[in-house]
């Protein structure tokens, strides 16, 4: 609903506005630890990427934090993560047999061999939330919308009424992950649907004008619906808006709020998934 509001207002504005690139001189700031990654209840290998912040116009891949000791625990079991290329990559992964248990709280402990922001230890915790079962999905082209129509991936599921839920949606076209960056992911809360049967509400909108994302008849479409924490929902929303300053809509810019200790940036997430597939007619 929020998205539609923004879109509506933006359209009214676009008639007037023009843009141009500008050069700015920005100050430098101190380096901070960045953690990015998550785990779910599906069995598989999960990656946590450790990097450092840089100056804003650094314009190169973020400097990696290699050689750290990264441990994952739910209080009873410990899982040591292995760096994919030891001492180089800064990417730490679990064994391929790992799966999380819904309801458990997982803690990520990071020990660095070189301090960042004068600290060598960082940690983060996240509870693995439950998710309602996806009954089915439907893919529909809404032809009235826009010049070539808008594709919708619609959800059918019973929303639990006794709790506040937050959802994250990923989708695959012919088994290729299309939401491969955090800004493409869709999120939703249950504010307007709490406790009701979700009878085909659109979770994902795809512009049929863009050939790289449009569907064709016969395409297999898979939707992954995940139950996430409120903190992660807020985080994704903030990341998606970050960098944009539209005087009408956005408040003063602020740093995104993650769940990493000691002033670290980023998020360690834990979520549970439910899947649905269909073939485009």
Partner 1 sequence: MKFLVTLLLGCLCFLPTLSAATDSELPGKWTISGSIRDFSNGEDLTGATVYVTELNTGAVSDFYGNYSVTIPEGHYTIQYSFVGFETVQRKVHLDKNLVIHIELNPASETLKEVEITSEQANKNVVRPEMSTFKMDIKTIKSIPSLMGEVDIIKAIQLLPGVQAVSEGGSGFSVRGGAPDQNLILLDESTVYNASHLMGFFSVFNNDAIKDVKLYKGDIPPMYGGRLSSVLDVRMKEGNSKRFEVNGGIGIIASRLTVEGPIWKDRISFIVSGRRTYADLFLALSSEKALRDNKLYFYDLNAKVNYRINDNNHLFISGYFGRDVFKNDFAKMSWGNSTGTIRWNHLFNKKLFANFTFVYSDYRYMLGTPEGTTSSFEWNSNLRDAGLKGDLSYYINTNNTLHFGISGIYHMINPGVAGGTGSESAYTEVKVPDNFSLESGVYVSNEQKVGEHWTFKYGLRFSMFQNIGPGTIYNFDSLYNPIDSTVYPAGDFYNTYYGIEPRIGILYTFNESSSMKASYSRTNQYLQLAQNSTAGTPLDIWFSASPNVKPQVADQGALGYFRNFRRNTIETSVEVYYKQMNHVIDFKDFAQLLLNEKLEGEIREGKGWSYGAEFLFRLNEKKFGGWVSYTLSKSMRKIPEINNGDPYPAPYDKPHNVAIVANYRFLPRWSVSANWVYATGNPVTFPTGRAEIGGKVIPIYSNRNAYRYQDYHRLDMSVTFYSKEKEGKRFKWDINASVYNVYNRHNTWSINFVQDNENPNVTYAEKIYLFGIVPSVTFNFHF
- Contact call for residue 18 and partner 1 (CB under 8 A): yes
Instruction: Give the C-alpha distances (Å, rounded to integers) separating 143 from 57, 152, 159, 209, 212.
Output: 41, 10, 28, 11, 18
- Contact call for residue 7 and partner 1 (CB under 8 A): yes
- Contact call for residue 17 and partner 1 (CB under 8 A): yes
Q: What residues have CB less than 8 Å from 56, skipping those under 6 apart?
A: 26
Cβ at position 37, least distance to partner 1 in Å: 9
CA atoms within 13 A of residue 142's CA, in its CB half-sphere: 15
**Quick count: other Cβ atoms within 10 Å of Cβ 238?**
14
Q: Which is nearer to partner 1, 205 or 215 (CB)?
A: 205
- Contact call for residue 249 and partner 1 (CB under 8 A): yes
* Region from 73-81, 117-125, 199-207, 217-225 binding partner 1, contact rule CB under 8 A: 199-207
C-beta of residue 162 within 8 angstroms of C-beta of residue 154: no
Instruction: Give the C-alpha distances (Å, rounded to integers) separating 224 from 11, 93, 154.
Output: 30, 21, 12
C-beta of residue 132 within 8 angstroms of C-beta of residue 160: yes
- Contact call for residue 251 and partner 1 (CB under 8 A): yes
Q: Which of residues 114-153 bind partner 1 (CB under 8 A)?
A: 142, 144-147
Cβ at position 155, least distance to partner 1 in Å: 9
Q: Which is nearer to partner 1, 269 or 274 (CB)?
A: 269
Among the listed residues 87, 250, 277, 279, the single contact to partner 1 using CB under 8 A:
250
Cβ at position 281, least distance to partner 1 in Å: 18
- Contact call for residue 263 and partner 1 (CB under 8 A): no
Nearest C-alpha neighbor of 11 from the set 246, 253, 211, 245: 246
Nearest C-alpha neighbor of 91 from the set 123, 66, 116, 121: 66
Cβ at position 131, least distance to partner 1 in Å: 18
Cβ at position 276, least distance to partner 1 in Å: 16
Q: Which is nearer to partner 1, 26 or 75 (CB)?
A: 26
CA torsion sign for 151, 156, 157, 159 is positive
Q: Which is nearer to partner 1, 59 or 97 (CB)?
A: 59
Q: Which of residues 42-71 bind partner 1 (CB under 8 A)?
A: 51, 53-62
> How far apart (Å, rounded) are the C-alpha atoms in residues 170 and 222?
8
Among the listed residues 182, 230, 277, 279, the single contact to partner 1 using CB under 8 A:
182
- Contact call for residue 175 and partner 1 (CB under 8 A): no
Nearest C-alpha neighbor of 132 from the set 169, 100, 97: 169
- Contact call for residue 32 and partner 1 (CB under 8 A): yes
Q: Which is nearer to partner 1, 60 or 162 (CB)?
A: 60
- Contact call for residue 170 and partner 1 (CB under 8 A): no
Nearest C-alpha neighbor of 126 from the set 33, 229, 225: 229
């Amino acid at each position: 609903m929020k998205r539609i509001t923004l879109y509506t207002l933006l359209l009214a504005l676009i008639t007037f506005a023009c843009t141009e690139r500008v050069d700015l001189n920005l100050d430098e700031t101190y380096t901070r630890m960045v953690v990015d990654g998550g785990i779910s209840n599906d069995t598989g290998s999960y990656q946590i990427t450790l990097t450092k912040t840089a100056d804003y116009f650094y314009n190169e891949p973020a400097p990696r934090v290699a050689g750290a000791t990264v441990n994952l625990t739910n209080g009873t079991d410990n899982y040591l993560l292995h760096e994919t290329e030891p001492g180089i990559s800064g990417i730490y992964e679990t064994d391929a047999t790992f799966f999380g248990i819904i309801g458990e709280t997982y803690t990520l402990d990071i020990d660095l061999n070189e301090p960042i922001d004068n600290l060598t230890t960082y940690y983060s915790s996240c509870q693995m939330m439950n998710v309602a079962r996806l009954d089915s999905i439907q893919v529909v082209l809404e032809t009235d919308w826009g010049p070539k129509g808008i594709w919708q991936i619609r959800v059918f599921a019973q929303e639990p009424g006794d709790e506040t839920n937050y959802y994250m949606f990923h989708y695959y076209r012919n088994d290729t992950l299309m939401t491969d960056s955090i800004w493409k992911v869709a999120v939703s809360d249950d504010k307007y649907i709490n406790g009701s049967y979700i009878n085909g509400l659109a979770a994902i909108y795809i512009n049929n004008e863009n050939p790289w994302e449009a569907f064709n008849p016969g395409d297999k479409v898979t939707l992954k619906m995940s139950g996430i924490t409120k903190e992660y929902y807020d985080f994704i929303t903030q990341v998606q808006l970050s960098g944009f300053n539209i005087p009408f809509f956005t408040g003063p810019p602020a740093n995104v709020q993650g769940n990493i200790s000691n002033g670290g940036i980023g998020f360690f997430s834990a979520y549970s998934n439910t899947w649905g597939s269909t073939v485009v007619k």
